[in-house]
Amino acid sequence: MSAFDWLNSEAFTAFGQHVIWSDMAGNTIGLAALALGWRRSIWTWPAQFLSGLILVGAYASAQLSGGVGKQLLVIGVALWGWRQWTRGRQQAQDGSIAVRFATWRERGLLLAGTAAGTLAVGLLFSAVPALSWNPWPDAYIFVGTLAAMVAQARGLVEFWFAWLLVDIVGVPLAFSSGLAFSGLVYVIYLALVLWGMRDWWQRSRAATAALEGAPA
């Protein structure tokens, strides 16, 4: 048995759902990556890179070509985000990654890019059924994940809002696709997202207050 075959073999069955090793391992590492992102650790990016590599196999086994494409993008953005955080590592006074709210221009660009990207990818998935059996939700998650990672790489608090919106669709889609562990992890993601959102929000406000109180 090859490593690919083993990763896509069944790990266990729970409540009638078959859980495969790649789905479980990739999403467990992805969960750790999100927790590391909340802690503003640079290790969030190699964790996301490894998670993407493993989940390529999981989505391929479920014949979700769109999911495979998403994970390939995750791998690419993880490398870019790693570089961004390495370059900006000393921005905060404690030596960690500085976080802030996006400007209205940045929010507009993020929303417009996400909407246009979802439309384009959804039309592509609809025109080529082999890419996805559920084109519009898959396109929404595909582009939403990319938008969230870009916002994270830039240290924007809105990164957490993007993940929250992805989770709303990701949970039911994962379960209906037979990736039960992905669905479970998306539920745990939701709790981490709310926690991380609160932490980054407070840090952003504290940083703003410190700048406003600094002597001219």
Do 7 and 89 fall within a single domain? yes
> Is residue 197 a part of any domain in this protein?
no
Residues 125, 70 share a domain: no
pLDDT (tens digit per residue) in 96-124:
677 888 999 999 999 999 999 999 999 99
Query: Could you tell me if 132 and 88 lie in one domain?
Result: no
The residue with tokens 């690419």 is 76
Q: What is the pLDDT of residue 34?
A: 83
Q: What is the pLDDT of residue 108?
A: 95
Structural domain includes residue 215? no
Q: Classify residue 200: in a domain, yes or no.
A: no
Cα 154 from Cα 5, distance rounded (Å): 37
Residue 160 lies in a domain: yes
pTM above 0.85, yes or no: no
- Residue ending a domain, among 65, 93, 121, is 93
pLDDT score for 90 = 43
Cα dihedral across residues 132, 81, 201, 105: positive or negative: negative
Total length of the chain: 216
Do 60 and 127 share a domain, yes or no? no
Same domain, 126 and 106: yes
Q: Please check whether residues 107 and 78 belong to one and the same domain.
A: no
Residue 157 in domain: yes
Per DSSP, helices labelled H in 13-157 are: 21-38, 44-61, 65-87, 104-127, 135-153
* Co-location of 112 and 62 in the same domain: no
Enter the tokens of residue 51.
Answer: 């998670």
In this structure, the answer to whether residues 50 and 83 fall within a common structural domain is: yes
Contact 139, 126 (CB under 8 A): no
Residue 206 belongs to some domain of the structure: no
Q: What is the pLDDT of residue 111?
A: 94
CA distances from 201 to 36, 64, 158, 186, 215 (A): 16, 35, 9, 22, 24
CA distance 130 to 148: 26
Mark whether 41 and 106 lie in a shared domain: no
Same domain, 1 and 89: yes
Q: How far apart are CA 58 and CA 62, in angstroms?
A: 7
- Please list the ranges in the chain whose pLDDT falls under 70: 1-19, 62-67, 88-96, 177-182, 206-216
Identify the domain boundary among 35, 70, 93.
93
- Shared domain check, 73 and 155: no
- In this structure, are 61 and 105 located in the same domain? no
What is the C-alpha to C-alpha distance for residues 104 and 115, in angstroms, rounded to an integer? 16
| Domain extent for 62 | 1-93
What is the number of domains present in the chain? 2
Q: What is the dihedral of CA 17, 21, 27, 31, to 10 degrees?
A: 110
Token pair for 41: 């650790």
